[in-house]
Structure 1
Amino acid sequence: MNTETRPLDRIDHEILGALQNNARLSNKELAASVGLAPSSCLERVKRLIQDGVIRGFHADVDPAALGVVLEALVFVRLGRHQPELLEGVWTQLAERPEVRDLYYVAGSHDLVVHVAVRDVEHLRWLVTEQISSRAELGQLETSLIFRHRRSAELPDYAREHAPQPRGR
């Protein structure tokens, strides 16, 4: 997010909430739901995109429809903690098509990698041939995901402190 943008007001928060709930709303529907003229609503959405507040619009696709049979979390611990080593591992993992999510974390591991694969053999190959082949890695641990739920909506903790829009 661009740190030099103006603070979000109540209507911006309402727009974000509505789009998180249903990113396919037409501009006319979105404008009506937040009480704006469609032209004003469109300008606000464009500004939220330009400022990096809205980072994209995504479809929630059933993994099985794409041949993904298995998902797992791979916990990675680096052998040595140097920024350039971490950056190299991060870049390599981020480029893998199997990687759904990548987290740099505090705790007993340094990275958590959420992967989506065709089957157990694909997972074995990915972990042993692609991930653990890097010399800077210290330890790997893999956990299969049996069930998963992702919320499409983030909690809006900033909304209660948002300024009221001008002219309302």
Structure 2
Amino acid sequence: MATLDQTDCEILRILQKNARIPNKTLAEQVGLAESTCLMRVRRLREEGVISGTRTVVDAEALGIGVQAMVAVQLRSHSRTTVEQFQRAAVQRPEVVACYHLGGRTDFLLHVTVRDPAHLRDLILSAFTARDEVQQVETSLIYDQQHTDAWPIYPEARAK
């Protein structure tokens, strides 16, 4: 894994807030020559520190009327069972995030659907109907806020 210096960290902070910032502007903000800044960004991509960019889309514009978090508890915890459920969950277009957890809940799924009937059908057909699923609990999302960026802890990476 790459070792990040303060300049790399500053580049990452800026890119997380605006991935489409022109290289010239980015270079000015971090105090580098344009060519040096471009080389650093390329290195961060090549080393996997930056793995892509993201586009934020309005959910309602996509026909999404309801979002929910679905907590899933499995009957058993063999590697095969866990991997089988995870593969099935992420193949569903309604599942936008799948978290494998420790503790009482095995998986937490962020799902997006058209309406409550679509949510009910998804829960019944895609989750509770699966043999490996013991229990499902659904919580509706009323609102969501995201931060612009991940925190950067360069000291912890150096160890």
* TM-score bin (small chain): over 0.9
Partner amino acid for 1:126? L
The equivalent of 2:59 in structure 1 is 63
Matches within 5 A, 1:85-164: 85-158=81-154
The equivalent of 2:71 in structure 1 is 75
Pairwise CA distance, 1:143: 0.5
The equivalent of 2:25 in structure 1 is 29
Unmatched runs of 5 consecutive residues or more in structure 2: none
Contact 1:10 1:162 in 2 (8 A): no
Partner amino acid for 1:115? V
- Partner secondary structure for residue 131 of structure 2: coil
Aligned pairs, number: 158
Moved over 6 A (4+): none
TM-score between the two structures when normalised by the length of structure 2: 0.94
Partner amino acid for 2:77? H
Residues 35-65 of structure 1, C-alpha deviations (whole Å, 9 max, x = no match): 1111111111111111111121011111011
Pick one of 6, 26, 35 that aligns with 1:10. Answer: 6
Pick one of 29, 34, 37 that aligns with 1:38. Answer: 34
Question: What fraction of aligned residue pairs are identical, expressed as a percent?
Answer: 43
TM-score between the two structures when normalised by the length of structure 1: 0.89
| CA RMSD in angstroms, aligned pairs only | 1.5
